Amino acid sequence: MKKGFLTTSKAKQQLNKTEIEKKDADSLVADTSASRNLNSGVSPNTPQWTTFSHGLVAEAGLPKGYERSKRIWASEFPDLNDPQAFCYVTLPSVKSGAVLPDNLGNRTECCVSVHVKNLIEKTPGFPSPPLQPTGGKAYEIRDAGAKGLGVFATRLIRAGDIIMDDRPLIFSPSGSTAFLRDQEFIRTLEAYTLGQSKQIVLYEMDQVIKGAFDRMPVEHQKAFMELYNSHKEDGSGEYIGRSRTNGAGIDGKKLRDQGTTGPVGAYSVVCYDYSRMNHCCCPNSVFHWHTDTFTIRVCAIRDIPAGEEISINYCSVLDSAAERAQSLAPYGILSCTCSPSCSDPALAKISDERRARFKKPIVLHPPAGRSGPGATWVQPALTRLRELEEENLQAADEYRRTLYQLVNIYCFLHDVDKVLLYAHKLDAVCRAMDRSKEVDKNLLTRQGVKHTAGWQTGMLNRMQMPGMPMPLMMAFA
Ligand SMILES: C[S@@+](CC[C@H](N)C(=O)[O-])C[C@H]1O[C@@H](n2cnc3c(N)ncnc32)[C@H](O)[C@@H]1O
């Protein structure tokens, strides 16, 4: 795909370079490469060996003298009274003795704590069938040049549409949670350097994922092994390497091990089609985990014309170009050229400055007295929306927030056309981000707008005499 053979001198240069990257990675507390979009906030007590290296590592593989652990980290028959016990389980579950139905493809091999297994099984609606893509399948997987394979739109996909709702092949811990509780194992690591300890933990995690892999039907095993692996030089095995390359992080607020915070105790999934989606710093789609359907759902966040590559973000889109580069390095993405604001230094500077501003929401206060259509105090929100759209940052939460702000403001100002304009954009974004319940459907029709609380507040404002103070302190956030 993108790696060739290295000559000896090139190899040395590469090694020096990756050693620097390795040090950088060592200084991070979270394994950002393990899975996308995990919550940050690692406890200072988290051992450093939970952070894996990437790139060419000088001493990849198990250190001499380390006896491969015979420990069973996860069992098919766990103690169901111990929420911390790890188990292998197929979800949605297959009843003992049942003849497997035709839809093998809808089952996932999981390595989970009993606590997380219970959370999944008790989720209302679990296991609902995956949702159908809006208007039928609208993508193909094909060559994406230097990026390897990619996912491309085969017809126009509208903002808010479901593109895929993918059941994972594997659901497994994204960090080394099981090891953190095993004092005997941790003592074993004391005899080794930090680098060696990381290699040992990588090996043990590889074995954990292999345990789930061994339970998969042959077609799933083949599909898993076909996936790209960007961790061939850092000591990751075949299984953990693919998991680090393709894993999508599960929102820790939804599912995580009991009593854990941050990336420790979090989970990630590896799907098939979803794993072919490449990164873009201004992506045209977003993804979210849904426990009821047990799927990663990808939706368009803006219109995607036929032929365009469908992209997601592997790192925070509001980070600076330098911060994004650091997050992307573990994927082997050393120089991101996904958009003009990545490859052109002048545009990157403007984009960095804007992205930093987008992290700070604007709060607007209407001036005292009557305020009608054409009001100028709205301008900062309009400028922000224009800049977000120029940067193609519809995937940033700030885009949704700004639309919400504008809808509320124009309701207050009784400007129906503008309410409808921004409410329809907001509706698409909320459907993509799965927050559809937030959009009051009244906002989508000319008559409905007049029945909203925002419109009523505007009425009160209109009854005020110029110069008189507002009945309520108003702020649009
Ligand atoms: C989850 S896979 C995506 C699918 C992959 N392209 C394939 O062929 O299967 C992640 C890998 O794709 C490549 N990739 C993704 N986004 C990229 C980008 N914006 N620029 C360069 N390579 C990218 C990197 O090699 C990365 O490790």
User: Domain ranges in the chain?
Assistant: 8-130+167-276, 376-463
Reduced to 3 states (helix: H, G, I; strand: E, B; else coil), residue 157 is: strand
Residue 202 has pLDDT above 60, yes or no: yes
Q: How far is C-alpha 287 from the geometric centre of its chain's CA atoms?
A: 6
pLDDT tens digits, one per residue of 401-424: 999 999 999 999 999 999 999 999
Q: Indicate the burial class of 134 (C-beta count within 10 angstroms; 0-12, 13-18, 19 or more).
A: middle
ipTM of this complex prediction, to 2 decimal places: 1.00
> What percent of the chain lies above the pLDDT cut of 90?
61
- More confidently predicted of 359 and 473: 359
Find the residues whose C-beta lies inside 6 A of ligand 1: 2, 147-150, 228, 230, 245-246, 275-276, 278-279, 331-333, 336, 338
Atom of ligand 1 nearest to the CA of 275: 1
DSSP-H helix ranges across 42-152: 114-122
Of ligand 1's listed atoms, the one at least distance from the Cα of 246 is 1
Output the pLDDT for position 103: 53
Band of residue 336 on the pLDDT scale cut at 50, 70, 90:
confident
Residue 114 CA to residue 196 CA, distance in Å, equals 30
Cα 147 to ligand 1 centre (Å): 5
Q: How far is the CA of 387 from the centre of ligand 1 (A)?
A: 28
Two structure tokens written together for 303: 């219109």
Q: What is the mean pLDDT of the chain?
A: 84
Average pLDDT over residues 369-376: 66
Position 17 confidence tier, pLDDT thresholds 50, 70, 90: very low
Measured in whole angstroms, the distance separating CA 147 from the mean position of its chain's CA atoms is 19
Whether the link from the prior residue into 330 is cis, omega within 30° of 0, is no
Mean pLDDT, rounded, for 289-311: 97
pLDDT tens-digit readout, 251-295: 888 899 998 887 788 999 999 999 999 999 999 999 999 999 999
Q: What is the pLDDT of residues 106-150, one digit of tens each?
A: 789 999 999 999 999 999 999 999 999 999 999 999 999 999 999
Instruction: For residue 131, count CB atoms less than 10 angstroms from its CB and return exposed for 0-12, middle for 13-18, buried for 19 or more.
Output: middle
Residue 139 CA to ligand 1 centre (angstroms): 17
Residue 467: the pLDDT is 60
Q: Per-residue DSSP letters for 309-370?
A: EEEE-SS-TTS-HHHHHHHHGGGT--S--SSHHHH-HHHHHHHHHHHHHHTS---B-PPSS-
Kindly state the average pLDDT of the residues 380-408: 97
Burial group, residue 352, by CB count within 10 angstroms (0-12, 13-18, 19+): middle
pLDDT at residue 55 is higher than 80: yes
Amino acid occupying residue 28:
L
Going by CA atoms, what residue is nearest to atom 26 of ligand 1? 331
**Residue 39 contacts residue 253 (beta carbons within 8 Å):** yes
